[in-house]
Amino acid sequence: MNTKISVGVLGIQGDIEENKTVAQEALIHSNVKGDVKFVRYAEEIEKIDGLILPGGESTVISTLATIQGGILHTIKRRIAEGMPVLGTCAGMIMLAKRAYDRVVGETRQQLLSNLDIVVERNAFGRQDDSFEAKLSIPILGKNNKFFKGVFIRAPIVIEVGAAVDIIAKFNNRIVGVRQGNVIGTSFHPELSGDDRIHRQFIKTVLDCKRHKGAQQI
Amino acid sequence: MTISLVAAEYEPKGIRSTTFDKTVVLRGTTLLKRGFAHMQKHGVIMDVTNVEQSQIAEDAGAVAVMVLDKLPYDVRKSGGVARTASVKIIEDIMDAVTIPIMAKCRIGHVSEANVLASTGVDMIDESEVLTPADDLRHIWKWDYTVPFVNGAKNLGEALRRIEEGCAMIRTKGEPGTGNVAEAVSHIKLVNNAVRWIASISDDHQELIRAARELRVSLPIVEETARLGRLPVVNFAAGGISTPADASFLMNLGCDGVFVGSGIFKADDAAQRAKAVVLATAYYDNPKIVVEAQKMVDEKKSMLGLDTKNLELKMQERGPSV
C-alpha cells in the first residue's frame, strides 16, 4: 500500500524547524511517503494526518493558540477524533489535563487536556539544572541502544490516568507517556540527533491513516 | 535548522558532569545552552525592571523576560554608570513568573556574570546597554554552565562572540530610542555577509580569506557557509516599539525579537505587549499584523529619539575584537 501522510508541526513558537527537520528524516528512514509542514490556522489543522506540538514556552503557545481564531479547539477536537499527536516538552504540557509549576503553583494557562496526565513544569529546576542523560525506551525496539534525553527546563509527569502507558522513566520520574495515538515526552527528541521517537510517531500516523482508509472502503 | 555544535576546540569548563540520584548527567553542554536559545524562537523577550512588569509580560505571552535596573531609555536619561540589576529584584521576579528569566551584566564583567549565574537566571546578556567594564575583552563564556546572549552589529562581531561561547546573538540596534533604523541596517549587514559566505562555500581559499577579513577562525566560517545562516539563534533588538516593527524585523529573517523600552515606556504597555507577541508569531500574515497594530494607539507609543545625533551610541561600546 502506498499511503501518503501529511504531518503538521504547530508553527507558532518554539523549536519548530528542528521538529520539521527530524520528522522529514524520520519519513525518509521509515520509507514512508509524505510531507511535513508548519500549521498555524484551523483550516490547515483540519487537513493533516498527524500533529507535532514542539518545544518552546507552553504559556506562549497556548496563549496564541487561544486568541488566534481559537485553533486550540480545533486541535483538541481532532485529537479527540483520533489524530495522532507527538508533544515534546512544552507540547506535552499543552496536552496535559493540569499543570503545576514548582514555584508558582497551578498555572493559569489553557491546556488541551487530551492526555490524562498532570505535569509539573520546570520540575528539575531552572536552565542551570538542564541536563543530558541516557534513557532506556523499550518501545523503540530491542536493540538496547540508549536514547539521548535532552532535558531543558523540563517538566515531569506526576499523575497518570488508567489509560496511559508510561514509555520512559528517568530515576523513577515519568518522562514519556503514551495514550492511544498521543505521545508526550519531557525531553526534546528533536534535539538529540536520533529520529527513533519521531519514527515511532510516523508509524502511528501511518497505521492510523491506513486503518481509517480501510474503514472507509 | 538543527542545532549547530561548532565550537572552539577545547574542553569547556562550563560542562559539568554530575550525578542525579546516582545517575550520571551532563549539564552546561553546548547542545543544552544553544538548545535553550532555540526554544525561544519566534518569541518576544521583554525588558522588565520589577515584578509587576514581569507579570504583565508573562500574561501577554512573552517567551522570557530580561531583568535590568533601568530600561535603556532611562539609562540614556540618567547618565552615570549602568550596572547589573539588584539581586533582590531578580529573585523576586523568579518567584513570580514561570517563563525563563534573563539578566544583563556589563561587558567583560566576570564577577557580575558569576553573581547572576549563582542567582540561577536562565540566560545572561553581556550587554552594551550597561557601561562596559573591560575595553579589551568580552567574557569567556565557555567557562559557564549558564548560556549567554551577546549583541553584534555585523557578521564578524557575531562570529567572534560565538567563538567566545555565546549561545545566542541579538543583532544590535540603538537601544532606548524607539527607532528601529539601526537594527534594520545591522540585520541587513549580517544577512548580506552570510549570503556572501554561503556563495563561496565551495572555495576553500576564499573562505580562508573571508575568515581573515572577519577576524575569526576558519571552522566557524565554514560552518556559516554550510548552514547559510548564523550558527546560533539570532534575535533582533534595539528600538522595536510597535507590532509592525516586530513583524518587519521578523520578515528580514530574525528568529525572534527583544523589546526593551518600547513596551514599558509606552502608555499602553499590557495591550502593546500582547500585540507585539501576536505580530511576531504571525509576522508573515499582513491581516494578523493589522489586527495587532489595531490593538495599539500610536499616540501612546514612546516618542523616541533620532539615532543621528545621539550623545551615547550604545552599539559602539565594548571591545572592538
For position A213, what pLDDT does the model report? Answer: 79
Q: Which candidate in A103, A122, A132, A169 is best for mutational testing of the B interface (most B CBs within 10 A)?
A: A132
Could you tell me the CATH number of the domain that includes residue A140? 3.40.50.880
The answer, yes or no, to whether residue A103 has pLDDT greater than 80, is no
CA of B105, closest CA in chain A: separation in Å? 17
The answer, yes or no, to whether residue A102 has pLDDT greater than 80, is no
Instruction: Write the DSSP symbol of residue A14.
Output: S
The answer, yes or no, to whether residue A212 has pLDDT greater than 90, is no
List the single residue in B with minimal CA-CA distance to A126.
Answer: B122
Cα distances (Å, whole numbers) of residue B39 to A151, B77, B226, B250: 12, 34, 22, 16
Which pLDDT tens digit goes with each residue over B271-291? Answer: 999 999 999 999 999 999 999
The answer, yes or no, to whether residue A164 has pLDDT greater than 90, is yes
Which chain A residues have a beta carbon less than 8 Å from that of B1?
A: 17-18, 21
- Cβ-based contacts under 8 A for chains A and B: 147
Which chain A residues have a beta carbon less than 8 Å from that of B32?
A: 127, 130-132, 150, 152
Cell of B284: 508573515
**Which domains are present in chain B?**
40-185+235-297 (3.20.20.70)
Dist. CA B37–CA B35, nearest whole Å:
5
Domain of residue A94: give its range: 4-216
Q: What is the dihedral of CA B152, B36, B75, B106, to 10 degrees?
A: -70
CB-count exposure of residue B9 (10 Å: 0-12, 13-18, 19+): exposed
Whether A73 is catalytic is no
Split at pLDDT 50, 70, 90, the class of B309 is: confident
Dist. CA B241–CA B248, nearest whole Å:
11
**Which of A99-103, B123-127, B248-252 shows the lowest mean pLDDT across its residues?**
A99-103
- Residues of B annotated as catalytic are 104
Split at pLDDT 50, 70, 90, the class of B264 is: very high
CB A97 within 8 A of CB A146: no
Which pLDDT tens digit goes with each residue over A32-48? Answer: 999 999 999 999 999 99
Question: Structurally, how many domains does chain A consist of?
Answer: 1
User: Looking at per-residue confidence, does B80 or B285 come out higher?
Assistant: B285
Split at pLDDT 50, 70, 90, the class of B31 is: very high
CB B288 within 8 A of CB B278: yes
Cell of A24: 522529514
Cell of A151: 532535558
Measured over the CA atoms of residue A31, residue A35, residue A39 and residue A42, the dihedral's sign is negative
Interval B199-203 mean pLDDT: 96
Which chain A residues have a beta carbon less than 8 Å from that of B278?
A: 64, 67-68
List the single residue in B with minimal CA-CA distance to A54.
Answer: B39
For position B8, what pLDDT does the model report? Answer: 61
For position B77, what pLDDT does the model report? Answer: 84
Q: Do the Cβ atoms of A57 and B42 come within 8 Å?
A: no
Cell of A194: 536520533
